[in-house]
Structure 1
């Protein structure tokens, strides 16, 4: 289950974090309040129910912070969040506050939530940095990114209901993650490829017929074909290479997600032109790598359409 955390805003994200903390720490978890230094913390005093585990519970005072961003596809490892060489980032700005609480014996354990992706490397580096700067054992520090939040919401679905958090239900919301990996690999392939193939792949439904079935305007269809048709054969050959079997699986995951979303949400769009533009804009806005490869991203969307992986098609090709 995926949620649009970017759209929550600071207050609603804090409400979500408090609801999770009451489930993970205990009902005594207090909501976010502004401290004398202007920061906002949530707090729990007692024996935690589930953190870090039910068999090895924290005891004492747990301070919780929530850092929300409106940006899409952001991560803990970005320099605006963590950069030990600079004082102008979220972690560096929070260190003095954490140290102050620790020095006043008002913090035994520290938890930081953020609607960002958290990799293992970033988690280790940030936790070690906070531990060193604030004299807190690493075992008393926990970082929670969207992956962990999603896991807890799956385990405790009532939490989402408590804060009126609905699953993503916007038209054609799709994840760019898998496509980003495919685009990155294909971009490297193009740089090293000796030549291009000019023969387009054999489609299951004739292009004109497919455009009619999907209500794509002739002008838009002609422009797509003019710009991207020459690249599709090379991409098909790229996916067919035995060494790229994992990328083929990723591609298949992407088109399945896209197609199911299109079927569910298509009624909100008048033409397939709008569907294609919406998908392209969504992917490019949400992922830095796709944003750096805009043309390839749009070409792959065209390939999906041309190859009848997305949109309505027919089992037998007609012309």
Structure 2
């Protein structure tokens, strides 16, 4: 189907001439997707879901190092990719996602949490493999400088160019990026089209959809199609940490001061539990010392003899 579509477009473009084609720049984007050692099953399934949603991506083997990330620039040059999506796993439980534009940058490091893959969500929506998505960004991305940089990198990474090799000439799903509470919430929906005659216009009580994963449909006149959005998956939330000027290096141009690492959170929880244990231990020791001073413990301390004791009076 894609070959027939390209052959028909080629015939129409030859008549237009080469002058018009030279004026329109070509969008050449290719994404290299790979992970580090130590990823969990959930992280690996998320990587496969994103790879299936991005037909212009190339998946590579795991990277052996976590300190020399500059090697990713050489891999991107080797595979002719100008975008890198790197999954860095820490301690088998924390996942960090790097978005970079090699070889000159910039680079964004984000903490990924609340991951739900497509298989475990078991949504009813579906989309054609190889189709192009519609990217929907929240208006909050245009308010600050670092959010505009994030929007640009997300557009280059998740925006599928029309001239890619594995792209089908269809657009049947939407990828939504919402900025809330300092985090980027990513959702994916299928564009479902049905005839308006089969579904009458909803009443005031039926405006809210029964399925929480679907959005209200857009109905038209009888004979027209009704468009609705059904969630596909996956779901994930990204918290930006730093933005580097170069590709996996360079000076820091933005740093999220409100971000707290999961290691610090776990350390604070352990310290709080240890504090409660230390309080109980100190209370027990103080009680034993007090009983010892009063002579209430056998064999410890000197018990003061009462002058009115029978042993003293009748001695």
How does the TM-score come out when normalised to structure 2?
0.22
Task: Look at both structures and tell me which one has the larger radius of gyration over its CA atoms.
Answer: 2
- Larger helix share, 1 or 2: 1
- Larger strand share, 1 or 2: 2
How does the TM-score come out when normalised to structure 1?
0.22
